Amino acid sequence: MPRASFFDTEARRRFFDTSFGVVNATSDGLARIWARAQITGALAEQHNQHNIFEHFNTESTARDMLRIVEALGRRNIQAWGFSYGTVLGATFASLFPDRIDRLVLDGVLDAESYFATRWSTSLLDTDKTLQAFFDSCFEGGPDLCPFYESSPEAISRKLDDLTRTILLRPVPVQTNISYGLVDYERLRITIFQSLYTPYATFPLLAQGLADLINGNGTVLYQILEQPVFDCACGTPAPLTSISDGGTAIMCTDGAEVRDTVDELEPFVQGLLRDSQWGEVLARIRIGCSAWPKQEKKHFTGPFLGNTSHPILWIGNTADPVTPIAGARKMAKGFPGSVVLTQDSPGHCSIAAPSVCTIGFVSAYFMNGTLPDEGVVCPVVQPIFSGQPVDIGGGLDPSMRRAVGAQAGEKDEDLVQALARLRQNFRVPIPF
């Protein structure tokens, strides 16, 4: 099975891959990330046997999807794509508009920006997602949010002060499976990752930040903890997930990047004007700056088509990497499409509990019906509630009828299905 791997052994990968890639972590952060990208590009070229990387693109995967559908004896596809999966889904719908049975695209990337290797529209709502942490912590109060202060603004200032302290004085951590530092880079990447899943992670983040102020970095460190590397014998399993695959797909898909450090500086500053989190997302374009040249052309748009069944697009009001604007833009190319908005922070709809959203998705897959244009689904439980996430509690009876959910068993089925989906849902940065 073809596998994107730039290193001969997992040990070599782990010893090289010791940085999260935050541009502002050091004064020479941009130059260091760029220099590492030159090494990665050279290693990829060395491991590009039979030009295998030219097949690591979204068009090839979309065509494989069609072959899988046909191999199952079907003509049209049914799919629910999340994050990068929305680029894949939009590509499929553009190439094969008459082969759509049901297609939900959730947490929608701006495909034009993605294929340009710019990611220039991804951070439009990221600061809004962080603001949700400040607001929900304040609303939860000191009993439920350990990082509480007298106002959301005071919580924000408290985090800024802590960040400046950690930049100067990293905190050492040792657990029973690993050890390391909570430094500026780890603090920032941990906060950024937490923005993806606020209901699952914000309470833990608040505890970690509160402990960190007192010099204890264990809880915050463990949010992204990995065991200390152990040199196991043998080769990894063919389906082992490694970061090389994401790099191969993004850089092969995207427009060629040959920027120098000086040429990348305006790009980084542009991202930072959109959001402070540009220091994290900038590494994607930087990381492609030495990617092996691909001679084979592949589909990069336009994204449009009169699909055999309308597409359901979903976006959150405060998604850290796929703002709702992406869904609205992409939907314009596909007549009959509807954009469903979920009023929540987090990446993709299942980052937050809404039986309203899952009800509309269920109705769409079951009988093909779409919500009315402009519908906004509520999220019915505070982030800092002190209780396990209640996916369906408190939903207005009229909304239950609107999504076609019967009281009782069917509602419970939706709740359980969403709980299972949320449990298995993992989107690695940057998707």
pLDDT digit string, tens, across residues 328-339: 999 999 999 999
Rounded-to-integer distance, Cα 399 and Cα 359, Å: 10
Report the 10 Å Cβ neighbour count for 402.
17
**Which residues are CB-contacts of 409 (< 8 A; sequence separation ≥ 6)?**
none
Report residue 174: phi and psi, to 5°: -135, 125
For the chain, give the secondary structure using H, E and C.
Answer: CCCCCCCCCHHHHHHHCCCCCCHHHCCCHHHHHHHHHHHHHHHHHHCCHHHHHHHCCHHHHHHHHHHHHHHCCCCCEEEEEECHHHHHHHHHHHHCHHHEEEEEEECCCCHHHHHCCCCCCCCCCHHHHHHHHHHHHHHHCCCCCCCCCCCHHHHHHHHHHHHHHHHHCCEEEECCCCEEEECHHHHHHHHHHHCCCHHHHHHHHHHHHHHHHCCCCHHHHHHCCCCCCCCCCCCCCCCCCCHHHHHHHHHHHCCCCCCCHHHHHHHHHHHHHHCCCHHHHCHHHHHCCCCCCCCCCCCCCCCCCCCCCCCEEEEEEECCCCCHHHHHHHHCCCCCCEEEEEEEECCCHHHCCCHHHHHHHHHHHHHCCCCCCCCEECCCCCCCCCCCCCCCCCCCHHHHHHCCCCCCHHHHHHHHHHHHHHHCCCCCCCC
pTM of the complete model: 0.88
Q: Which residues pair with 181 in a beta bridge?
A: 172
Token pair belonging to 386: 């002190």
Task: Going residue by residue through the chain, which has 431 residues, state the pLDDT in tens, using 9 for 90 and above.
Answer: 456 667 666 666 666 665 667 998 888 999 999 999 999 899 888 877 767 778 889 999 999 999 999 999 999 999 999 999 999 999 999 999 999 999 999 999 999 999 999 998 999 999 999 999 999 999 999 999 999 999 999 999 999 999 999 999 999 999 998 889 999 999 999 999 999 999 999 999 999 999 999 999 999 999 988 766 666 655 555 444 456 778 889 999 999 999 999 999 999 999 999 999 999 999 999 999 999 888 788 999 999 999 999 999 999 999 999 999 999 999 999 999 999 999 999 999 999 988 899 899 999 999 999 999 999 999 878 999 886 654 444 444 444 444 444 334 455 666 666 666 666 566 555 54
Residue 59 structure tokens: 């068009």
